[in-house]
Structure 1
C-alpha cells in the first residue's frame, strides 16, 4: 500500500541517502509542536526506535521546510497526510530518502505519526501521515515492510480529529468515480487548505 500517487511521490533519487552523521545523535524522544490553520498539536518523536527517520524529520523541521506546506490527503477513518505540497499543490523538492525502520513492536495505532513512502520501503523523505484509527495492516510483518512510526501525538489530538472530518475533493473512500478535474490527480485534498504554519522543537 502506497501513501501517495505516482505524481505525489515521484522521487528521482534511486537509492536511500544516509542521514549525515552529525545529525544522527538525537536527544531521546524530543517533542515537536505543529502549528496549523486548524490548531496545534504536539508529537513526541521515537528517536530510540527509528533514529534515522527521526533525525531526517528533525532536519526538515529545523530547516523550516514544513512552513506553508499543507495536509493534502485526508481519509477520515484512516489517516491524514501532509508535509510535501504547498497551497497550490506544488510538490516541494526534498533530500534523498531514508531507509525503512518499521518495527513489529511499534504499531500504527491511532495518534501515531509515520513516514509516507512509495511502494519502495526505503523511499520516505519529508511526507508523513497521522493515523486516525488503529491501522495494524500498516505494521511490519512477514511479507510486509510496513511503515516507519516516528512518534505519537501527545497533545492536540482534537486538532487531528478536526482535520480528519473536513470535506475533501473527490473522496476516494466513498468508492465513487471522480467527476471533477483535480490538480496532479490528487484525490482527498481538503476543499479549504489545511496549512502547516510552522513546526518547532518544544
Structure 2
C-alpha cells in the first residue's frame, strides 16, 4: 500500500494525505456523514449508534491491541464496515501488524499506524489493492474512533489506520440536521468531526484510551515533509489478539 495521511501541512512531496486534517481537530464543521445503504432522508436520532453502546453484541468483533505503551481494547463493527473489519482482522491474525510502529502522532488529534515500513507510505490491504471507504451515518470520528487512513485517490484504503485522540470539546457549530443529538453530545468529550463523511470509521476504543493519550504525547520531531509528527521513540504494536469474533 502507498499510504500516508497528512494533517496540518499540505505535503507537496507526498502522495498520501488525510485530507480533512488540513485543519486542526478543533475545527467546527457541518460535514454530512452520509449513509452507505440509503439516500433517503431519515431521522438521524433513530439510528443505532454502536460507538456509544457499552454493550458488546454478538455481531461485533473485539480485539486487544498490545503495544509497548500498554494495551488498547477495541470493538469493531463488521455489520457496518465489513471490508475494513475483514481487512484489519485478517492482517491481525496473520501477524501483519506485529512490530509495526505508530509512525505519526499528533497530540490533541490522532495516532497513526499500520505501515510495516514505518514510513507512512507502505502497506497494503489483504487483497493486494486498495478498496473504497465504507462511510456510514452510524459511525463518527468521536474520541476513540478507529478509522482507515486513505489517500486522495479513489479506492485507496490499505493497511494503515488511525485512532482519534483529541479530548477537547468540538461540538460547537455541529447542527442537528447533520448529526444525531447523541453524537453532538459525544463530541463534547473530543474527536474530529471534520473527518466525518470522508474517512471510514470501523471501530471504537472501549478500554485503554489512557494508552492512546500516552502515545499521542510522545516526543516528536519533524518528518521529511516538514510536519512535527515523527516520534523520537516510536511505540510499537507487539500483537493484536482477537477476543471475540462476530457471529
1:121 CA displacement: 4.6
Q: Say whether 1:112 aligns with 2:145.
A: yes
C-alpha distance in 2 between matches for 1:185 and 1:198: 30
Where in structure 2 are there 5+ consecutive unaligned residues?
Answer: 18-57, 167-190
Map 1:88-103 onto structure 2 (within 5 A): 89=119, 92-94=122-124, 95-103=128-136
C-alpha distance in 1 between matches for 2:5 and 2:164: 12
Q: Say whether 1:165 aligns with 2:217.
A: yes
Instruction: Give TM-score scaled by structure 2 length.
Output: 0.62
- Residue in structure 1 matched with residue 242 of structure 2 by the alignment: 201
C-alpha distance in 2 between matches for 1:67 and 1:110: 25
Q: Deviation per CA, 1:75-126, whole angstroms, max 9, x where unpaired?
A: 1111110011445x48544221121101133110000100000012521110
C-alpha distance in 1 between matches for 2:89 and 2:15: 22
- Residue in structure 2 matched with residue 3 of structure 1 by the alignment: 5
Structure 1 residue runs of 4+, over 6 Å off? none
Cα-Cα RMSD: 2.3
| Equivalent pair of 1:56/1:98 in contact (CA under 8 Å) | no
- Residue in structure 2 matched with residue 136 of structure 1 by the alignment: 193
Instruction: Give TM-score scaled by structure 1 length.
Output: 0.75
Change (3 A) 1:62 1:104: same
Structure with greater strand percent: 1
Q: Say whether 1:78 aligns with 2:109.
A: yes
- Residue in structure 2 matched with residue 155 of structure 1 by the alignment: 207
C-alpha distance in 2 between matches for 1:113 and 1:57: 11
1:186 CA displacement: 6.7
| Equivalent pair of 2:101/2:113 in contact (CA under 8 Å) | yes
